Structure 1
């Protein structure tokens, strides 16, 4: 169903807005933009009509940290992989995403950026690409998790300035702030208007505070691959987790797949940080939306082998989780069923909050007048029935779009 560039009326649904719920409302779309959110069912002559069937009408889900899905990884560095990942996640309600790299060589990273530029122009039937998130290669070896140790290194101005010169698509860069050269790196990246996040790090509070003051305003997958309370010479120091809690202004993201973090930890993060400072992320690898079994993180030919079981990706020796196989609908479902969060608050953490963190809230993240018509229709079980990007239906359950 190509509904682009025409009036569309979505009616008979329970609308989720940033401010309130509308029990039986309608959303009017014109040329891919939200023209009206109504408590009624207005007459719109000539409009294409979509009956929500009493289901929820929500802003599209925004995933700011995702590596792959549907059997593909962004670091496969093919346009086909990029497009397949975008289509895969659209089936589960994601309307906007930030393709995320893994630690790799300079050449691999630049190739991913070049592929992104090509795929961006060809992406007509999947979640919209909003820019690239570079995760690494400037990470702490002690907190590498499933990141390939062959490519972990300290920030090198010659390298990161070169990478930044090759693409305007970079919107976020995650690094360990305690590394040699990480503070100048943060300042430089921030000066380019790019979000700097701390990740895969063993920093203590004093190091995190300095990092925050120099641009590191987001904690990448909170609790995962980062220090908690640390002992040094018998003295205890607050780690990154405690620092993220203590710095009120710091945003955090969490992998709410129900495996990486238990219910009490999810509840604790919500209690301390609040729904406007937490983004739900999939951190999904190529195995998302695929059967359990063996898989690969990163490039299909050179990446790390992993095994998927119990609803999560693990290193072959099962010593560590290795990304996730979650999709966005699962994140919302987990927060409601496992953490006891209300539906509007769960939706807020995967729509309005990530849009604010990534500075795209002027056009994404809420069903309000003038914003892109990125919309998801789902039922009580958070089963997605329709996904729409900028007024175009790109997925309908049982239709095969």
Structure 2
């Protein structure tokens, strides 16, 4: 009889890549993941709690002595891994949003010495699939922090970790789940292993591999592109409202009659065409945002084959959340669809984020790139003014 043992360390039985392994249960262990780093990061003034500078972007320093403070490092230990920053974790919601745990948090070494590293153990199947497919491979810390003005500029202090999120785009460059490199030495060992076989063909295939890290010491890196100026919060909100209005107007001008009536489905055809299905990570992210926007709404169940969600069903979820939250500044949610509905829903979620979960102290940060361009505090104030006027 085979026995299982526990000794405080990870037991893995399958190596996916140099930095990814599977446990006997099928959990995915991602080692040496950079979750944050020292540096200067651009935020909106509203995000860092500086209303006097609303409309401006602010560069905030994350100094070495703060990010590598023993208390900060300990605050991220064993915290949940989640998808996106729709909600900060607490005892009431962690069971719903957690997809894994953060462990072995420490400072990196060598060329990673400016990074805070951790091992992420992913235990949720959909999150594992999203990482393995590359749909979600960047990471972003969610945390509370204060700011102070110093001769060097505005600095974050008192960082207290809440979660580590899997995101599409992280504010911290280099904060992503890696696979490790196919190094020159490994290529050499592979060639030696197959030396008695069809060596020419094998070498030809090996040389087609993408060169990474130390494989091309003479390569000159391409110059970094000049970043485009970040639009102000007011400009982004105005563009959102204008985009929804334009799309809604175009929809009202569509011709009616037979041309506007969808054809009856073929009785012998599959009602759930693959092109109409939403990828699981995308569907779950939208459902999570909808539940955060409208707490208490009925949780949907996938109505397509295999429990998948269709585009029509996800659109119903978004309309229900908009209606339940009382969001009306983009028009009647029941009449929105397609791109107009997507924009209105994302804007409404951004409005509600700052009002969820009381802060432990200071300002609450979710360091994915999309947070730096969402007008959270500004649109929340507009929504509060709208409700107050009623």
TM score, norm. by length of structure 2? 0.25
Larger Rg: 2
TM score, norm. by length of structure 1? 0.24
Larger strand proportion, structure 1 or 2?
A: 1
